[in-house]
Structure 1
């Protein structure tokens, strides 16, 4: 046998082994619905993919595979399997699949949300943990946040006096924007009913919508240069608007160094000491992450909480009575951030809102760095992983009456469950090494905004009964109400 023939035989054997290995891997993929040629299962997503995929998981199980164009996607729909992905095999699933829209102005190259796990990512996480979200840092900036909450009180009082409705999501957005900007910059970004607030909201929501919308260019990489849906272009426009504002703040801080001590000051100090450690681009993109993610998700959660409380007025009364009793018994005019652990029903209302209406129904997408076996199936390397926390929040095996708004469950059978990343049946901020770094601030903001809305007012709807409210959702990275909540505050 000559050398050429031997080489051909060996190559044929090797190729056969590769095909057999690939066939075995495909045969061990998690089950899932059959897809159409080329587009695969894209049509299965529908306008509300979190609901569509939750329904499919009832048939195919908590580990389900789909083909979205050329992208193999594995959907995780239960607390048990989420724990495997985010805890047991965390190191294999910690990286991200990168949506095209997140590449706007090279954001994915600097973002703590999109960077792969590595030295740069660890550095930024450490800065978030130590410079922004440590308890001493948050305690030091509480006074600034109280000022912004007072402006919300004044705004609602004015609307009450005039008998006009409050756009709750809009008011919560402006407040969240100012709470975050106060903590980050010692500054105020927007005013109620102002054009600047509306522009900022449009920019922030524009980023979130562009990144969160299903994009054919992500499913078919050959389409990326064409950007057929214009989502990258839209993200670049919104991101650019935010960068203009952030650059103004950074430049102003550079001119007046030492006057105040906030996050930007701390970041600029690192930058001035060693630009290689933290560049201006690092700072701009980190601030963008914190501003966009924190504002949109926190305000959406407060809007959903108020929606559910208005639909359930006896629960609104129960929450208000707890707040009033606490302040009376402790001789306080206002609830402070340190008081939140002493208000169990308030905490239960927030947890129940996170369960029913998680701000990010799929979290951010993960990516498998190697083949991993889960529940007897192979999750292949490079597969996109979506964790459907909306589905696990409505799992009847865990939650009694899962479609009902019942905060009391967190005072009774689910009393020990929290949203800090240890209880996988409730992980609106994710878990493991990719848990949201802003959780400590969001925790304070959501509770305090809700207290401000509830403590002194009854709320009524215009021309409809509470049970007639539209509860449909507008899908994106953030799950917002499709029709904004507008209600009239009435002084008690």
Structure 2
């Protein structure tokens, strides 16, 4: 019994010392953080965000200052609300602050491991950025595709004219989406991704919209990482299905091009396939993930230009 009592005493002392050490470490870490509102147990400051987080953060900044720390569930978040500090973080010290957290929804289909948008700034990210700057967004390629832009604008005007002649209404938002999407798809694949009938256009638009909706939803797994394995809201599961549909579309064009015996179109797809074949700087999986942000960018741009046309 004496040995058992001694063993229990040693264990209790060890647990007490460990708890005090952890509390002291947490207190020191808290002293290094900017000031912020007092967090509640478990949920932290989540409820202070309300249904309009941008307004809530503005009000909090008036009392906590232009830089403050919030505890959102189990995640500590630093909020910058000053143009001067934002420039310091995003421009002067951009590399140091580039390791942003990845939303759990973006982990679907391992998108965070292959997308230039979410990769950390290491070799893979540098390779994708170099390829994008040289072969997708280069001024020379944009100038060479000026005739495509002219052609798609003419297609848009012709479609509107036909609708007017037939007395049919025109969905301006969807028409702008089709024009932008087919311009990008011609630049990348040398084909129209959707046709002006709007049946396939609406389906693809909804697919892109669903991806953006799932990515923007508040996700418990982001605030409580311990819940990632069970995906309580099913967001990552639905995002994975949406990504799979989009990759199926991209894969169709890639296989069609690889099996083709015709002369290369020298579009973005040809350039990427040539890079894969010559130096293995990227692979097919990375290439398909590279195409996803282009579709999302088109949809976001269309909503900014035509916010009331859904």
Task: Give the TM-score band, short-chain normalised.
Answer: 0.7 to 0.9
* Post-superposition offset of 1:244: 0.6
In the other structure, the counterpart of 2:132 is 128
**Aligned residue-pair number:** 296
Among 261, 266, 271, the alignment partner of 2:276 is: 271
SS of 1:91's equivalent? coil
Among 200, 206, 217, the alignment partner of 2:204 is: 200
Q: 1:24 & 1:74 partners in 2: Cα distance?
A: 17
Q: 1:284 & 1:158 partners in 2: Cα distance?
A: 35
In the other structure, the counterpart of 1:295 is 298
* Post-superposition offset of 1:133: 0.6
In the other structure, the counterpart of 1:247 is 251
In the other structure, the counterpart of 1:87 is 91
Among 169, 172, 179, the alignment partner of 2:173 is: 169
* Post-superposition offset of 1:216: 0.3
Among 98, 101, 120, the alignment partner of 1:97 is: 101
1:218 aligns with 2:222: yes
Q: 1:187 & 1:56 partners in 2: Cα distance?
A: 50
Q: 2:159 & 2:58 partners in 1: Cα distance?
A: 39
Q: 2:142 & 2:75 partners in 1: Cα distance?
A: 41
Among 262, 267, 273, the alignment partner of 2:267 is: 262
Question: 2:74–2:224: 8 Å Cα contact kept in structure 1?
Answer: yes
* Post-superposition offset of 1:228: 1.3
Q: 1:63 & 1:71 partners in 2: Cα distance?
A: 17
* Post-superposition offset of 1:235: 0.6
In the other structure, the counterpart of 1:361 is none
Q: 2:202 & 2:224 partners in 1: Cα distance?
A: 34
- Aligned-pair Cα RMSD in Å: 2.6
* Post-superposition offset of 1:69: 0.8
* Post-superposition offset of 1:61: 2.8
Which has a greater percent of strand? Answer: 1
Counting only pairs closer than 5 Å after superposition, residues 2-17 of structure 1 correspond to structure 2 as: none
Question: 1:145–1:183: 8 Å Cα contact kept in structure 2?
Answer: no
Question: 2:264–2:270: 8 Å Cα contact kept in structure 1?
Answer: no
Unaligned runs of 5+ in 1: 1-7, 305-483, 487-492
* Post-superposition offset of 1:160: 4.6
| TM-score, normalization by structure 1 | 0.56
Q: 2:50 & 2:172 partners in 1: Cα distance?
A: 28
Larger radius of gyration: 2
Q: 1:300 & 1:172 partners in 2: Cα distance?
A: 9
SS of 1:75's equivalent? strand
Question: 1:181–1:291: 8 Å Cα contact kept in structure 2?
Answer: no
Q: 2:23 & 2:167 partners in 1: Cα distance?
A: 71
Q: 1:76 & 1:182 partners in 2: Cα distance?
A: 40
In the other structure, the counterpart of 1:437 is none
In the other structure, the counterpart of 2:309 is 485
Which has a greater percent of helix? Answer: 2
- Which stretch of the first structure deviates more once superposed, 120-129 or 95-104? 95-104
